[in-house]
């Protein structure tokens, strides 16, 4: 069956009616975007001869995706979240805004509400026999290289099983385990005492992994640590670093790896004096460079639904 019906008056009118394009009420932007997305979908059905069975398989897939609560996970896995970064990078370049720490995707696993500490925070709450101690530290500076005192550095990462607290299916972690927030000191310094993470894998029975299986892709990420860094008069930075040496560093299912976001991991001793669980520990220095507001506004801040917990 190779019919083309998109360009008929009947279908044009159907698309306009479905999006209420000519109605006076409703949100104009919403109508515009919906009309365009529906039109593109209808065009794909025409062009690729997508069958009714395939359409209903897709509709049922959306139901499973919602039931699994994985729409934001899928957004990372199909490159949608990376695409938004590529667009923000391009917008920055066009505006002559360069030189800050590169952004990379937030992902779906941030939890708001973690208590804020001054300068240093120990963020491993639950014991994890398979994870060694890790110290993450550095300086927050502005684009001119001046240390930013009082900047808020938030971090979150997985445990030795690749699970994040609040989303851990084993129930092994308390709410803010491996999540922290510190205010930089007068020299712009921050420090987290934590445990070495392992890479994340999509839930094997979930909708995201189901889609990836169908196209022969894996759903794994290299070990990584997420950050938000915010300060007065600076744009909020969303980024991550990867743990050097992870075999998946250039094979991340969410496409978050960037050359500048792979800091060296150093072996150190003296962990006992720092209160770490072993004297030998790993150390990562990671410095953040923020970028200024654009015409007084943070044009890179992203609003999205995020989990929250009470301290
Ligand atoms: C993660 O830990 C993550 O960072 C992303 C982007 C997607 C799934 C899990
Ligand atoms: Fe993550």
The atom number, within ligand 1, closest to the CA of 164 reads 2
Query: In terms of C-beta density within 10 A (0-12 exposed, 13-18 middle, 19 or more buried), how is residue 39 classed?
Result: middle
- Average predicted confidence (pLDDT) for the chain: 97
Q: What is the pLDDT of residue 155?
A: 98
Determine the pLDDT at residue 74: 99
Atom of ligand 1 nearest to the CA of 158: 2
Residues with CB under 6 A from ligand 1: 73, 76, 105, 107-109, 200, 221, 254
Which band of pLDDT confidence, cut at 50, 70 and 90, is reported for residue 311?
confident
pLDDT in tens, 30-55: 999 999 999 999 999 999 999 999 99
What residue owns the CA closest to ligand 1's atom 3? 107
The two three-digit tokens of residue 11, written as one number: 């279908």
**CA–CA separation, 297 and 227 (whole Å):** 21
Quick one: tokens of 153? 């550095």
How much distance in Å is there from the Cα of 298 to the middle of ligand 1? 24
Say how many Å lie between the CA of residue 240 and the centre of ligand 2: 8
Which pLDDT belongs to residue 183?
A: 98
Residue nearest to atom 4 of ligand 1 (CA): 107
**pLDDT tens, 255-273?**
999 999 999 999 999 999 9
Over the stretch 49-103, which tens digit does the pLDDT of each residue have?
Answer: 999 999 999 999 999 999 999 999 999 999 999 999 999 999 999 999 989 999 9
Compute CA 60 distance to the chain's CA centroid, rounded to the nearest angstrom.
26
Q: Tell me what pLDDT residue 30 has.
A: 98
Tell me what pLDDT residue 2 has: 81
Measure 176 CA to ligand 2 centroid, in angstroms: 14
| High-pLDDT (> 90) share of the chain, % | 99
Nearest CA to 5 out of 49, 38, 37 is that of: 49
Please report the pLDDT score of residue 185 as a whole number.
98
CA distance 77 to 201: 11
CA–CA separation, 240 and 90 (whole Å): 19
Cβ atoms 277, 130 nearer than 8 A: no
0.85 surpassed by pTM: yes
DSSP states of the chain as a string? -----TTSHHHHHHHHHHTTTT-SSS-HHHHHHHHHHHHHHHHHHHHHT--HHHHHHHHHHHHHHHHTT-HHHHHHHTTHHHHHHHHHHHHHHHTT---SPPP----S--EE-PPEEESEEE---S--TT--EEEEEEEEE-TTS-B-TT-EEEEEE--TTSPPTTS-TT--S-TTTTEEEEE--TTSEEEEEEE-----B--TTSHHHHHHHHTT---B--SEEEEEEE-TTBPPEEEEEE-TT-TTTT--TT----GGG----EEE--TTTTT-SSSSEEEEE--EE--B-BTTB-SS------EE---
- Rg of the Cα trace of the chain? 23
Which among 243, 254, 255, 258 is the best mutation to test ligand 1's pocket, defined by most ligand atoms within 8 Å of the CB?
Answer: 254
Cα of 160 vs centre of ligand 1, distance in Å, is 15
Indicate if the pLDDT at residue 1 is higher than 90: no
- State in Å: Cα 31 to ligand 1 middle: 31
Residue among 72, 81, 108 whose CB has most ligand 1 atoms within 8 A, to mutate: 108
Which pLDDT tens digit goes with each residue over 182-232? 999 999 999 999 999 999 999 999 999 999 999 999 999 999 999 999 999
Contact 201, 162 (CB under 8 A): yes
């Amino acid at each position: 069956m190779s019919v083309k019906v998109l360009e008929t008056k009947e279908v044009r009118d159907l698309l306009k009616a479905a999006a209420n394009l000519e109605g006076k009420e409703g949100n104009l932007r919403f109508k515009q975007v919906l009309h365009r997305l529906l039109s593109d979908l209808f065009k794909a059905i025409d062009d690729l001869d997508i069958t009714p069975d395939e359409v209903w398989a897709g509709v049922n897939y959306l139901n499973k995706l919602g039931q699994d609560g994985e729409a934001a996970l899928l957004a990372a896995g199909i490159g949608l979240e990376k695409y938004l970064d590529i667009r923000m990078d391009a917008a920055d370049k066009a505006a002559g805004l360069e030189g800050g720490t590169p952004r990379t995707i937030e992902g779906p696993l941030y939890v708001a509400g973690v208590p804020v500490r001054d300068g240093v925070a120990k963020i491993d709450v639950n014991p994890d026999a398979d994870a060694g101690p890790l110290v993450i530290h550095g300086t927050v500076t502005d684009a001119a290289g001046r240390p930013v005192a009082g900047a808020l550095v938030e971090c979150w990462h997985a445990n030795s099983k690749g699970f994040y607290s609040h989303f851990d299916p084993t129930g092994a972690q308390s709410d803010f385990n491996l999540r922290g927030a510190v205010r930089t000191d007068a020299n712009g310094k921050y420090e987290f005492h934590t445990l070495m993470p392992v890479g994340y894998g999509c839930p094997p029975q979930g909708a995201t992994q189901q889609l990836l299986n169908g196209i022969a892709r894996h759903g794994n990420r290299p070990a990584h640590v997420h950050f938000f860094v915010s300060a007065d008069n600076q744009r909020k930075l969303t980024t991550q670093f990867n743990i050097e040496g992870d075999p998946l560093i250039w094979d991340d299912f969410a496409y978050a790896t960037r050359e500048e976001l792979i800091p060296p991991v150093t072996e150190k001793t003296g962990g006992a004096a720092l209160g770490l669980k072993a004297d030998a520990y790993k150390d990562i220095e990671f410095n953040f460079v923020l970028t200024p507001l654009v015409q007084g506004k943070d044009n890179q801040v992203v609003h999205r639904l995020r989990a929250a917990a009470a301290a």
